[in-house]
């Protein structure tokens, strides 16, 4: 990483979390891996990198609840060398699973990565700062501070310092009546950004966890979600909050909502149960941020030593009807396109299919098949070769002569 002084001498912009480079000013890119182990196969070919996306707040059948896509991540990560995903997929409230070769990347940053504007720099450890909404009651605030202390003592996480916003954020949420997605806003965004800048300037932290005070759920309004149906009505505004911090400060960020516990339910979907077993959703956020990659700006598109760039991505896996996001469209438009795999079984409230958007994609029925396709792709085997009667006779493409007429046949040697 270039020093501040070196960056200044080159006339490069100085911005928290950014490293700008110019071609020829860094050593050539070396072999980089985010895998925990160095396999023998890695000596002969580069690492295989996948991206798994499940959009936030769209009622995804798998990944639309309390970390219910995490089993897919665990299985997929055992097949690839590096897996990039985002908090909606990896967070499970009080539960989490540490996977060495999985990169925890906030959604706004993932979109910029897919566009080739940002690169990802894996880390050993981040110093994490905690922001608590000034609207959180004292008892609930103490619960969240106890969680932070527990992760420091029991997991050894570097959660260094916390601050409280100078004004209650006043979180609002709603379901978009047109799209069916959850969304929302905070009334005092500048209060959040002031708190974040205070932590950055005072403690030199590397990542920020935010806890916003959410309106308490009406039992009837949350009943569908607790039964594993419908849309998570808090997820959309959670994304709004983290996007804001990442966009303005270019630092890893994730959000955990604070609200009073709902009454005990004797009929609860396992998909939603992770949110019912404690007082906060903060543990998974702190664990994820502690090893989240840093974001690196690379305007010149030059390779950054030690970083993962969009051209390193080999495959992207997401729901069939959720292909309209900025990140997915960016992956699909690249000259060097990754294999896009869309999963039929993971239905959402969206209707953004590859056919409607002109995206070349491989359609599979479920994540079992998706993982099999990824394994074949990594091995250099065409996935159709694993299916009955899928391989047809090779096609003939005639050569066009200079006069525009096609030429067919074998040229004799002169």
Per-residue confidence at 135, pLDDT binned at 50, 70, 90?
Answer: very high
- Give the pLDDT of residue 385: 93
pLDDT in tens, 289-303: 999 999 998 655 446
Q: What is the pLDDT averaged over residues 118-128?
A: 96
User: Regarding predicted confidence, which is higher, 377 or 19?
Assistant: 377
Helix (H, G, I), strand (E, B) or coil at 11: coil
Q: How far apart are the first and last CA of the chain?
A: 56
Contact 97, 60 (CB under 8 A): no
- Give the pLDDT of residue 38: 46
From 123, 125, 128, 126, select the one nearest 147 (Cα to Cα).
128
Residue 98: pLDDT over 60: yes
How long a stretch of residues is the chain?
A: 414
DSSP string, 181-232: -EEEEES-HHHHHHHHHHHHHHH--SEEEEEEEPPPPPHHHHHHHHTT-S--
Contact 367, 62 (CB under 8 A): yes
Judged by average pLDDT, the poorest of 74-88, 155-169, 301-315, 372-386 is 301-315
Residue 28: pLDDT over 70: no
- Give the pLDDT of residue 66: 87
- Give the pLDDT of residue 340: 98
Q: Do domains 34-122+312-388 and 124-292 have the same CATH topology?
A: yes
Residue 22: pLDDT over 60: no
Tokens representing residue 274 in the block: 């992770």
- Give the pLDDT of residue 357: 97
Residue 118's beta-bridge partner residues? 297
Q: What is the pLDDT averaged over residues 331-341?
A: 95
Judged by average pLDDT, the poorest of 122-126, 141-145, 275-279 is 275-279
Phi, psi values for residue 306, rounded to 5°: 85, 5
Residue 12: pLDDT over 50: no
CATH of 34-122+312-388, one of 3.40.50, 3.60.15, 1.10.1760, 2.30.30: 3.40.50
- Give the pLDDT of residue 224: 74
The ranges assigned to domains in the chain are: 34-122+312-388, 124-292
CATH number of the structural domain 124-292: 3.40.50
Contact 50, 75 (CB under 8 A): no
Residue 313's beta-bridge partner residues? 49
- Give the pLDDT of residue 132: 98
**pLDDT above 90 as % of the chain:** 67
Contact 298, 119 (CB under 8 A): yes
**Whole-number Å distance between alpha carbons of 151 and 283:** 7
Q: What is the pLDDT averaged over residues 351-366?
A: 97
Q: What is the pLDDT averaged over residues 192-201?
A: 96
Q: What is the pLDDT averaged over residues 239-256?
A: 97
Alpha helices in 253-406 (DSSP H): 282-289, 326-333, 354-357, 367-379
Residue 170: pLDDT over 70: yes
CA 160 to centroid of chain Cα atoms: 24
**Whole-number Å distance between alpha carbons of 367 and 215:** 35
Q: What is the pLDDT averaged over residues 64-90?
A: 96
Average pLDDT, the chain: 86
- C-alpha distances (whole Å) from 59 to each of 52, 63, 192, 304, 394 are 16, 8, 28, 37, 42
Phi, psi values for residue 63, rounded to 5°: 100, 5
The Cα angle at residue 308 between residues 305 and 312, in degrees rounded to 5: 120
Per-residue confidence at 37, pLDDT binned at 50, 70, 90?
Answer: very low
- Give the pLDDT of residue 198: 95
Tokens representing residue 169 in the block: 């954020």
Phi, psi values for residue 102, rounded to 5°: -110, 130
- B/e letters for 61-80, b = 16+ CB within 10 Å, e = fewer, are bbbbbbbbbbebbeebbebb
Largest CA distance in the chain: 89
Residue 218: pLDDT over 90: no
Q: What is the pLDDT averaged over residues 354-362?
A: 97
């Amino acid at each position: 990483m270039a020093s501040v002084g070196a960056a200044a001498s080159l006339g490069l912009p100085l911005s928290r979390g950014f490293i700008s480079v110019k071609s020829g000013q860094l050593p050539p890119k070396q072999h980089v891996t985010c895998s925990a182990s160095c396999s023998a196969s890695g000596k002969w070919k580069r690492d295989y990198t996948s991206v798994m996306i499940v959009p936030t707040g769209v009622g995804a059948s798998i990944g639309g609840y309390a970390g219910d896509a995490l089993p897919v991540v665990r299985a997929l990560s055992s097949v690839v060398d590096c897996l990039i995903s985002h908090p909606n997929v990896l967070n499970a409230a009080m539960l989490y699973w540490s996977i060495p070769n999985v990169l925890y990347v906030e959604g706004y940053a993932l979109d910029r990565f897919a566009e080739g504007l940002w690169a990802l720099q894996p880390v050993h450890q981040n110093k994490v700062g905690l922001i608590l909404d000034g609207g959180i009651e004292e008892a609930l605030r103490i619960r969240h501070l106890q969680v932070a202390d527990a992760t420091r003592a029991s997991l050894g996480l570097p959660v260094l310092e916390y601050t409280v916003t100078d004004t209650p954020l006043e979180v609002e949420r709603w379901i978009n009546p047109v799209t069916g997605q959850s969304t929302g806003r905070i009334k005092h965004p500048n209060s959040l950004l002031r708190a974040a800048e205070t932590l950055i300037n005072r403690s030199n932290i590397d990542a920020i966890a935010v806890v916003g005070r959410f309106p308490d759920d009406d039992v009837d309004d949350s009943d569908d979600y607790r039964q594993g149906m419908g849309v998570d009505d808090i997820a959309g505004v959670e994304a709004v909050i983290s996007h804001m911090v990442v966009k303005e400060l270019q630092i890893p960020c994730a959000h955990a909502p604070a609200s009073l516990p709902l009454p005990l339910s004797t009929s609860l979907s396992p998909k939603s149960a992770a949110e019912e077993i404690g007082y906060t959703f903060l543990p998974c956020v702190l664990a994820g941020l502690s090893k989240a990659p840093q974001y690196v700006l690379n305007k010149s598109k030059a390779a950054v030593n030690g970083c993962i760039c969009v051209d390193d991505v080999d495959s992207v896996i997401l729901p069939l009807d959720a292909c309209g996001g900025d990140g997915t469209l960016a992956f699909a438009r690249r000259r060097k396109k990754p294999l896009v795999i869309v999963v039929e079984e993971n239905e959402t409230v969206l209707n953004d299919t590859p056919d409607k958007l002109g995206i070349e994609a491989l359609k599979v029925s479920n994540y079992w098949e998706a993982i099999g396709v990824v394994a074949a792709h990594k091995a250099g085997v065409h996935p159709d070769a694993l299916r009955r009667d899928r391989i047809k006779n090779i096609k003939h493409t005639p050569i066009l002569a200079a006069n525009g007429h096609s030429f067919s046949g074998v040229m004799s040697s002169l």
